[in-house]
Amino acid sequence: MAGVAFRNISKVFGKDVKAVDNLNLEIRDKEFMVLVGPSGCGKTTALRMIAGLEESTEGDIMIGEVRVNDVPPKDRDIAMVFQNYALYPHMNVYDNIAFGLRLRELKGFFWQLTHMAEARRIKLDIDSRVKEVARMLQIEKYLHRRPKELSGGQRQRVALARAIVRKPKVFLMDEPLSNLDAKLRVETRAELIRLHRSLGITTIYVTHDQTEAMTMGQRIAIMRDGKLQQCDEPETVYAYPANKFVASFIGSPPMNFVDAKITNVGEQAYVDAGDFKLALPAGHPAAGMSGKSVTLGIRPEEIFDATLPSRVTPNELNTIRAKVDVLEPLGDRYIAYLTIGGHKLVSSIDNETKIKVDQEANFTINLERIHIFDNDTEAAIR
C-alpha cells in the first residue's frame, strides 16, 4: 500500500504544449482520488506519468517514499484500467486475467522444468487468485469465453479483474466507464466504490464527468489548462468552490452567474446586479469592497418559490421578483428558467410549486449560500 504524490510536476509536449503545469497533489494511502476537468486539461497525461508511460519534464513523482521518475513502468507496482479495456482477443477470460501473473511470477520455460514443485505451487496459487477475483466480479460463468463473446459491461469487469488480481500498490483508471450505457455506468460506479472499500487500494480515477467525480471521489482534484484549480472533498468543492471555473464545472444544472457590483446603504452591504440586489451576510469579506465589480454566483437549488415552505424565510433582503419563461418537469422538481430585468436565472423548484409560465412570482435566495467572485482574478471572495 502507498500514497502517490506529484511534486512540482510539469509536462511539456514538443516546444510549447504545457499539458501539466506545476502540479502539486498528494493522494493519500488507500484514498480514492478523482482527477476531473474538461477535455485537454491534462488529467490523462498526469495519470500516465504515474504509470511511467509518459516522462515528466520537471518535478518528482512519488509512490510511497520512493521517487519513481526513473523506475521502469513494470517495476512501479501499479495497475491501469483504460476506457478501451485492452483485453487480449485470442485469449479466454481466465487467461486474460492470469496472463500478467504468469508473466510476473513464473519465470521462463526452462526454469519451470527445473523447479517443477515450485512452479506447480505458483500455478495453483494463480488459479485460486483468478477464481477469487472472478467470483468477486461475478464473471466466473464466463471464464472460458473470449472477449468478443462478452457484453461491454462484462469486458469491463474482466479488465478490472485483471488489474485487481495483481494486488498492486496503486490503481490508475482512465475513464473506465465511458463505453458503458448510462444504467450500467451507474451500477458499475457503485460496484467500483464497494470494491475500493473492500480492497483498500489507493486509486486515482480520471474522468471529465463531474457527476462521476462527485459520486465516486473521496476527494476530487479539478484541473484546467494543466493547472490544479482545487482539491477537496466533493461536498466542500460544491459548497466552497475556489473560483468561478470550479463553480461552473461542479453542479448540475450549473451555477448562475450575474455581473454585479458591491454597494452599501448605511451599514448594509449589497451585491447589486442593477435589476435586483441581494444583501450580503453580515461579516462577508466583500462587504468592505464598495464599488468593486464582481460576479454573483447562485446555485439553482438555492432559489426557492417564496410561497412554499423552505430553508429560507422570505424578507426584503433575500426576495426577488422574476418572470417564469419555461418550466421543465423532472418529476420531483421543476427546472424553472426565469427572467429578472436583463438577467436570466435557472432555478430548481419543488414540484409543489404553483408558479406558471409567463407569469411573475416571488423567489427567495439563500443568502448564506451565494458566491461572490472577483472579476479580476475569478477567485472566490469569502
Q: Taking the CB of residue 264, how many other CB atoms lie within 10 A of it?
A: 15
The 169-208 contact track toward ligand ATP, x by CB under 6 A, reads ---------------------------------------x
**The binder of ligand ATP chosen from 5, 33, 36, 44 (CB under 6 A):** 44
Determine if 161 is a binding residue for ligand ATP (CB under 6 A): no
Please give the C-alpha separations between residue 168 and each of 98, 201, 274, in angstroms, as whole numbers.
14, 8, 58
Beta-carbon contacts of 47 under 8 Å, excluding residues fewer than 6 positions away, are: 35, 80, 172, 174, 204, 206
> All 3 cell numbers of residue 164?
485487481
Task: Give me Rg for the CA atoms of the chain.
Answer: 26
Residue type, 325: D
Determine if 52 is a binding residue for ligand ATP (CB under 6 A): no
Q: Are 37 and 224 a contacting pair, CB within 8 Å? A: yes
Determine if 43 is a binding residue for ligand ATP (CB under 6 A): yes
* Stretch touching ligand ATP by CB under 6 A, among 12-20, 90-98, 186-194, 289-297: 12-20
Determine if 295 is a binding residue for ligand ATP (CB under 6 A): no
> To 5 degrees, how large is the angle CA 61–CA 85–CA 148?
165
**The binder of ligand ATP chosen from 41, 195, 231, 298 (CB under 6 A):** 41
Determine if 114 is a binding residue for ligand ATP (CB under 6 A): no
Residues binding ligand ATP: number (CB under 6 A)? 13
Determine if 19 is a binding residue for ligand ATP (CB under 6 A): yes
Determine if 42 is a binding residue for ligand ATP (CB under 6 A): yes
C-alpha to C-alpha distance for 360 and 323, rounded to whole angstroms: 4
Determine if 40 is a binding residue for ligand ATP (CB under 6 A): yes
Q: Least distance in Å: CB of 261 to ligand ATP?
A: 36
Closest chain position to ligand ATP (CB): 44
> To 5 degrees, how large is the angle CA 329–CA 335–CA 336?
110
Interface residues with ligand ATP (CB under 6 A)? Answer: 13-14, 17, 19, 37, 39-45, 208
